[in-house]
Amino acid sequence: MKKIALIQESPYVLDKKRTIEKAVEIINSVSAKGAELIVFPEAFIAGYPAWIWRLRPGGDRGISEELHVRLLKNAIDLSSDDLNPMLEAAKDNSVTVVCGINERDNANSQSTIYNSVITIDTQGQIINHHRKLMPTNPERMVWGFGDGHGLNVIDTPVGRIGSLICWENYMPLARYSLYSQGIEIYIAPTYDSGDAWTGTMQHIAREGKCWVLSCGVALERKDLPTDFPNIDEIYPADEEWINPGDSLVVSPSGEIVSGPLSKEKGYIILDIDVDLASTSKRALDVAGHYSRPDVFKLEVDKTRQSPIHFKNSR
């Protein structure tokens, strides 16, 4: 049995330093409770840009630009030492950490933000870095398109883990790329919630015969910074919850074993039998004996995409 922890807590929205400090406190706290794998929600550092679902496209340009500037300044440059406190906390506690971040590109223009999820190992090293393949609807005004570079399943002390972010989980081929790498613990950091999302998580567990950990964004109006522009128009004072969280754990049979944790902050800490991800495939193994490679083949390009390639002039 392995002990996992889903963290349904709000960040300090648009404040990466305080959010990272909070993440370190949480890692220390749930590690002390025995957690070996700790999962944070989508874009936890420094907050999912929930305002994009309220602002009018093109009609609230001033507010959108102000918030985007603040989000960019609080996005994580992975070549910097921003995340060092979290890396050290993972190493000190000998735990694996999966965390959603707003990532600032450091390779090209250095101004594009990506919706990314990172995996930190027990030695405090980032061992996987996945950028969301396809931002959804108004998310495309905030985040750039990711690529297949991070579509990896990683061996960890808790099992073989991999991640897809929010509506990436509706992409059958993206899911299959993880199934085909022997995933045992399928991690879905997300802003989505509700019965339809829960049903999707159950379907993925049954399809992939893997554990599914869905870690949702829990966000209240009071979590927004005090200087959030036009807050009373965007989020009326009588609106307490912006997003309910709805984190849950689903077994390889599709059974919900914990959650959904709705409209409350806290953790799901649970022991899971990781071996079920293998033994459950006896009847259905979509990337193994139930596949038909003579009829269907999937090709995945894991190259990190870039608009420019320099060649030496010498």
pLDDT(160) > 70? yes
Residue spans per domain, the chain: 2-282
Q: What percent of the chain is helix, strand and coil (3-state, nearest 5)?
A: 30, 25, 45
For 24-75, the pLDDT digits (tens) are 999 999 999 999 999 999 999 999 999 999 887 666 778 889 999 999 999 9
- Rounded to 5°, angle at Cα 16 from 216 and 38: 40
132 among known catalytic residues: yes
Q: How confident is the model at residue 15 (pLDDT cuts 50, 70, 90)?
A: very high
42 among known catalytic residues: yes
Go through 147-171 and write b for each residue having 16 or more CB atoms within 10 A of its CB, e for each that does not.
bbebbbbbebebbbbbbbbbbbbee
Q: Which of 99, 166, 210, 215 is catalytic?
A: 166
Q: Domain spanning 2-282 has what CATH number?
A: 3.60.110.10
Q: Which of 3, 16, 22, 132 is catalytic?
A: 132
Taking every pair of Cα atoms in the chain, the longest distance, rounded to a whole number of angstroms, is 66
Beta bridge partners, 129, equal: 118
Average pLDDT, the chain: 95
Q: Which of 2, 9, 36, 42 is catalytic?
A: 42
Quote the percentage of the chain above a pLDDT of 90. Answer: 91
pTM summary value: 0.95
Which residues, including other chains, have CB under 8 Å from residue 198's CB and lie 6 or more apart?
214, 246, 248, 256, 260
99 among known catalytic residues: no
For 223-259, the pLDDT digits (tens) are 999 999 999 989 999 999 999 999 999 999 999 999 9
Quote the percentage of the chain above a pLDDT of 70. Answer: 98
- pLDDT (0 to 100) of residue 58: 61
pLDDT(90) > 80? yes
